[in-house]
Protein backbone atom coordinates (compact mmCIF):
# COMPACT_ATOMS: atom_id res chain seq x y z
CA UNK A 1 0.00 0.00 0.00
CA UNK A 2 1.34 3.43 -0.98
CA UNK A 3 0.78 6.67 0.90
CA UNK A 4 2.06 10.23 0.71
CA UNK A 5 3.18 11.77 4.01
CA UNK A 6 2.19 15.19 2.69
CA UNK A 7 -1.35 13.97 2.00
CA UNK A 8 -3.02 12.83 5.22
CA UNK A 9 -5.94 11.26 3.34
CA UNK A 10 -3.63 8.63 1.77
CA UNK A 11 -2.16 7.39 5.02
CA UNK A 12 -5.04 5.78 6.88
CA UNK A 13 -5.32 2.79 4.60
CA UNK A 14 -1.54 2.52 4.37
CA UNK A 15 -1.10 2.10 8.14
CA UNK A 16 -4.36 0.46 9.17
CA UNK A 17 -3.69 -2.64 11.25
CA UNK A 18 0.11 -2.58 11.02
CA UNK A 19 2.20 -3.58 14.03
CA UNK A 20 5.07 -1.15 13.31
CA UNK A 21 5.85 1.96 11.31
CA UNK A 22 9.45 2.70 10.29
CA UNK A 23 9.63 6.39 9.45
CA UNK A 24 12.70 7.03 7.29
CA UNK A 25 11.25 9.72 5.01
CA UNK A 26 13.11 13.04 5.03
CA UNK A 27 14.32 15.90 2.88
CA UNK A 28 17.72 17.35 3.75
CA UNK A 29 20.03 18.23 0.85
CA UNK A 30 17.74 20.82 -0.69
CA UNK A 31 17.78 24.62 -0.99
CA UNK A 32 13.99 24.51 -0.59
CA UNK A 33 13.62 25.30 3.12
CA UNK A 34 9.83 25.15 2.96
CA UNK A 35 9.96 21.65 1.47
CA UNK A 36 12.33 20.51 4.24
CA UNK A 37 9.94 21.71 6.95
CA UNK A 38 6.82 20.41 5.23
CA UNK A 39 8.32 16.99 4.65
CA UNK A 40 10.11 16.51 7.94
CA UNK A 41 7.69 18.16 10.35
CA UNK A 42 4.27 18.25 8.70
CA UNK A 43 4.84 14.88 7.06
CA UNK A 44 5.66 13.40 10.45
CA UNK A 45 2.62 15.09 11.96
CA UNK A 46 0.42 13.50 9.28
CA UNK A 47 1.92 10.07 9.80
CA UNK A 48 1.57 10.27 13.58
CA UNK A 49 -2.10 11.26 13.23
CA UNK A 50 -2.75 8.33 10.90
CA UNK A 51 -1.11 5.86 13.29
CA UNK A 52 -3.01 7.30 16.26
CA UNK A 53 -6.27 6.84 14.39
CA UNK A 54 -5.73 3.57 12.55
CA UNK A 55 -2.91 1.65 14.28
CA UNK A 56 -2.64 3.05 17.84
CA UNK A 57 -0.90 -0.07 19.13
CA UNK A 58 1.85 0.07 16.51
CA UNK A 59 5.48 0.66 17.38
CA UNK A 60 6.53 3.95 15.73
CA UNK A 61 10.25 4.01 14.85
CA UNK A 62 11.66 7.29 13.58
CA UNK A 63 15.02 8.08 12.01
CA UNK A 64 16.59 11.37 13.05
CA UNK A 65 20.03 12.94 12.86
CA UNK A 66 23.04 13.57 15.08
CA UNK A 67 23.25 17.04 13.52
CA UNK A 68 20.80 18.20 16.19
CA UNK A 69 23.51 18.54 18.85
CA UNK A 70 25.34 21.69 19.92
CA UNK A 71 28.46 22.02 17.76
CA UNK A 72 30.28 23.57 20.74
CA UNK A 73 29.88 20.43 22.84
CA UNK A 74 32.77 19.55 25.16
CA UNK A 75 32.46 15.78 24.67
CA UNK A 76 30.95 13.30 22.19
CA UNK A 77 27.24 14.10 22.08
CA UNK A 78 25.00 12.05 24.36
CA UNK A 79 21.27 11.58 24.00
CA UNK A 80 20.68 13.70 27.11
CA UNK A 81 22.73 16.64 25.80
CA UNK A 82 21.24 19.92 24.69
CA UNK A 83 20.08 20.13 21.10
CA UNK A 84 20.92 23.29 19.19
CA UNK A 85 20.39 22.70 15.47
CA UNK A 86 21.93 25.25 13.12
CA UNK A 87 20.06 24.45 9.91
CA UNK A 88 16.57 23.63 8.68
CA UNK A 89 17.07 19.88 8.40
CA UNK A 90 18.13 19.18 12.01
CA UNK A 91 15.77 21.86 13.33
CA UNK A 92 12.82 20.22 11.57
CA UNK A 93 13.89 16.85 12.95
CA UNK A 94 14.00 18.19 16.51
CA UNK A 95 10.46 19.52 16.08
CA UNK A 96 9.30 16.19 14.64
CA UNK A 97 10.94 14.27 17.50
CA UNK A 98 8.96 16.39 19.97
CA UNK A 99 5.70 15.59 18.19
CA UNK A 100 6.43 11.88 18.39
CA UNK A 101 7.51 11.92 22.04
CA UNK A 102 4.27 13.69 22.95
CA UNK A 103 2.06 11.51 20.74
CA UNK A 104 1.14 8.82 23.26
CA UNK A 105 2.37 6.14 20.83
CA UNK A 106 4.99 3.49 21.51
CA UNK A 107 7.94 5.32 19.97
CA UNK A 108 11.68 5.22 19.50
CA UNK A 109 14.03 7.64 17.77
CA UNK A 110 17.38 6.66 16.25
CA UNK A 111 19.76 9.55 15.64
CA UNK A 112 22.07 8.65 12.78
CA UNK A 113 25.37 10.39 11.94
CA UNK A 114 26.83 10.66 8.42
CA UNK A 115 25.30 7.79 6.42
CA UNK A 116 27.19 6.22 3.52
CA UNK A 117 27.62 2.95 1.67
CA UNK A 118 26.86 0.66 -1.25
CA UNK A 119 27.72 3.33 -3.80
CA UNK A 120 25.19 5.90 -2.63
CA UNK A 121 27.53 8.77 -3.55
CA UNK A 122 27.54 10.43 -0.11
CA UNK A 123 31.28 10.05 0.38
CA UNK A 124 31.99 11.42 -3.10
CA UNK A 125 29.88 14.48 -2.31
CA UNK A 126 31.50 15.00 1.09
CA UNK A 127 34.66 16.96 0.12
CA UNK A 128 32.82 19.97 -1.28
CA UNK A 129 30.59 20.15 1.81
CA UNK A 130 33.58 19.89 4.15
CA UNK A 131 35.51 22.61 2.36
CA UNK A 132 32.47 24.89 2.23
CA UNK A 133 31.91 24.42 5.97
CA UNK A 134 35.57 25.05 6.79
CA UNK A 135 36.27 21.72 8.48
CA UNK A 136 39.74 21.10 9.85
CA UNK A 137 41.31 18.02 8.21
CA UNK A 138 41.90 16.44 11.65
CA UNK A 139 38.25 16.72 12.61
CA UNK A 140 36.73 13.32 13.41
CA UNK A 141 33.10 12.60 12.66
CA UNK A 142 30.87 9.65 13.45
CA UNK A 143 29.61 7.55 10.56
CA UNK A 144 27.23 4.67 9.89
CA UNK A 145 26.96 2.33 6.90
CA UNK A 146 23.61 1.81 5.17
CA UNK A 147 23.63 -1.82 6.23
CA UNK A 148 23.70 -0.85 9.88
CA UNK A 149 20.66 1.34 9.51
CA UNK A 150 18.94 -2.02 9.09
CA UNK A 151 20.83 -3.43 12.09
CA UNK A 152 19.47 -0.63 14.28
CA UNK A 153 15.94 -0.83 12.88
CA UNK A 154 15.77 -4.56 13.59
CA UNK A 155 16.57 -3.90 17.23
CA UNK A 156 14.00 -1.13 17.37
CA UNK A 157 11.37 -3.44 15.85
CA UNK A 158 12.13 -5.95 18.60
CA UNK A 159 11.44 -3.28 21.22
CA UNK A 160 15.01 -2.69 22.41
CA UNK A 161 14.74 1.08 21.91
CA UNK A 162 11.14 1.63 23.07
CA UNK A 163 10.62 5.07 24.60
CA UNK A 164 14.21 6.14 23.93
CA UNK A 165 16.29 8.40 21.78
CA UNK A 166 19.40 6.42 20.75
CA UNK A 167 22.58 7.53 18.99
CA UNK A 168 23.63 5.01 16.36
CA UNK A 169 27.23 4.97 15.14
CA UNK A 170 29.97 2.62 14.03
CA UNK A 171 33.12 1.86 16.01
CA UNK A 172 35.56 4.55 14.90
CA UNK A 173 34.90 8.24 14.22
CA UNK A 174 37.18 9.01 11.27
CA UNK A 175 39.06 12.17 10.29
CA UNK A 176 37.64 14.09 7.38
CA UNK A 177 41.11 13.97 5.85
CA UNK A 178 40.88 10.16 5.71
CA UNK A 179 37.29 10.20 4.45
CA UNK A 180 38.25 12.46 1.56
CA UNK A 181 41.24 10.24 0.78
CA UNK A 182 39.07 7.13 0.62
CA UNK A 183 37.26 8.53 -2.43
CA UNK A 184 40.51 9.45 -4.16
CA UNK A 185 40.41 13.15 -3.41
CA UNK A 186 42.77 15.36 -1.43
CA UNK A 187 42.24 17.81 1.40
CA UNK A 188 44.83 20.40 2.36
CA UNK A 189 46.62 19.28 5.55
CA UNK A 190 46.89 21.61 8.54
CA UNK A 191 48.50 21.75 11.98
CA UNK A 192 46.48 24.78 13.10
CA UNK A 193 44.31 24.62 16.19
CA UNK A 194 40.95 22.96 15.63
CA UNK A 195 37.66 24.51 16.70
CA UNK A 196 34.62 22.52 17.86
CA UNK A 197 36.50 19.18 17.99
CA UNK A 198 33.44 17.21 19.17
CA UNK A 199 31.00 18.51 16.55
CA UNK A 200 29.37 15.60 14.61
CA UNK A 201 30.97 13.08 17.01
CA UNK A 202 28.41 11.09 19.00
CA UNK A 203 28.62 8.82 22.01
CA UNK A 204 27.18 5.44 21.01
CA UNK A 205 27.42 3.87 24.48
CA UNK A 206 23.67 3.66 25.03
CA UNK A 207 23.15 1.82 21.76
CA UNK A 208 25.82 -0.72 22.76
CA UNK A 209 24.17 -1.29 26.13
CA UNK A 210 20.88 -1.91 24.33
CA UNK A 211 22.46 -4.51 22.05
CA UNK A 212 23.52 -2.60 18.92
CA UNK A 213 26.78 -3.72 17.34
CA UNK A 214 27.53 -2.65 13.75
CA UNK A 215 28.18 -5.18 11.01
CA UNK A 216 30.37 -2.64 9.19
CA UNK A 217 32.52 -1.48 12.07
CA UNK A 218 34.52 1.27 10.31
CA UNK A 219 34.73 3.14 7.03
CA UNK A 220 38.04 1.38 6.42
CA UNK A 221 36.33 -2.01 6.67
CA UNK A 222 33.79 -0.81 4.09
CA UNK A 223 36.63 0.24 1.80
CA UNK A 224 38.34 -3.13 2.23
CA UNK A 225 35.12 -4.98 1.39
CA UNK A 226 34.29 -2.70 -1.55
CA UNK A 227 31.02 -1.46 -0.09
CA UNK A 228 31.74 2.26 0.14
Please state, for a pLDDT cut of 90, what percent of the chain lies above it: 88
Q: How confident is the model at residue 1 (pLDDT cuts 50, 70, 90)?
A: confident
If we measure between CA atoms, which residue out of 69, 202, 93, 226 comes closest to residue 147?
A: 226
CA 117: distance to chain centroid? 14
Buried b (16+ CB within 10 A) or exposed e, 116-135: bbeeeebbbebbeebeeeeb
pLDDT of residue 131: 77
Q: Rounded to whole angstroms, how far apart are CA atoms 201 and 178?
A: 15
Q: What is the pLDDT of residues 169-182, one digit of tens each?
A: 999 999 999 999 99
Quick check: helix, strand or coil at residue 110? strand
3-state SS class at 172: coil
Give the per-residue pLDDT at 29: 81
Neighbours of 39 (CB within 10 A): 21
| pLDDT tens digits, one per residue of 111-158 | 999 999 998 888 998 888 887 788 999 999 999 999 999 999 999 999
Spatial separation of the C-alpha atoms in residues 96 and 152, rounded to whole Å: 20
Mean pLDDT in residue range 4-23: 95
CB contact at 8 A, 174 and 137: no
- Mean pLDDT for the chain? 95
| Confidence band, pLDDT 50/70/90 cuts, at residue 63 | very high
pLDDT tens-digit series, residues 27-41: 988 899 999 999 999
What pLDDT was estimated at residue 126?
87
Exposure string of 198-225, with b = 16+ CB inside 10 Å and e = fewer, is bbbbbbbebbeebebebebebbebbeee
Count CA within 13 A, CB hemisphere, residue 6.
10
Nearest to residue 93, comparing CAs of 49, 142, 39, 146?
39
Question: What confidence score (pLDDT) does residue 24 get?
Answer: 97
Question: What tens digit of pLDDT does each residue of 185-203 get?
Answer: 989 899 999 999 999 999 9
The dihedral of CA 181, 185, 191, 194: what is its sign?
negative
Task: Kindly state the average pLDDT of the residues 42-47.
Answer: 98
Q: Domain 8-225 is classified in which CATH homologous superfamily?
A: NAD(P)-binding Rossmann-like Domain (3.40.50.720)
pLDDT recorded at residue 207:
98
Amino acid sequence: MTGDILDRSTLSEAVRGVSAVVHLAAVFRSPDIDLIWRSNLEGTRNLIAAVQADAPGARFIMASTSNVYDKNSTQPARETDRVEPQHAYPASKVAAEKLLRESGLNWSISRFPFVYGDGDGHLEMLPKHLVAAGFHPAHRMSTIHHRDIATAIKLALAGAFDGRIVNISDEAPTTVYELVGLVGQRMEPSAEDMRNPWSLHVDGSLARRLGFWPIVRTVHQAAQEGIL
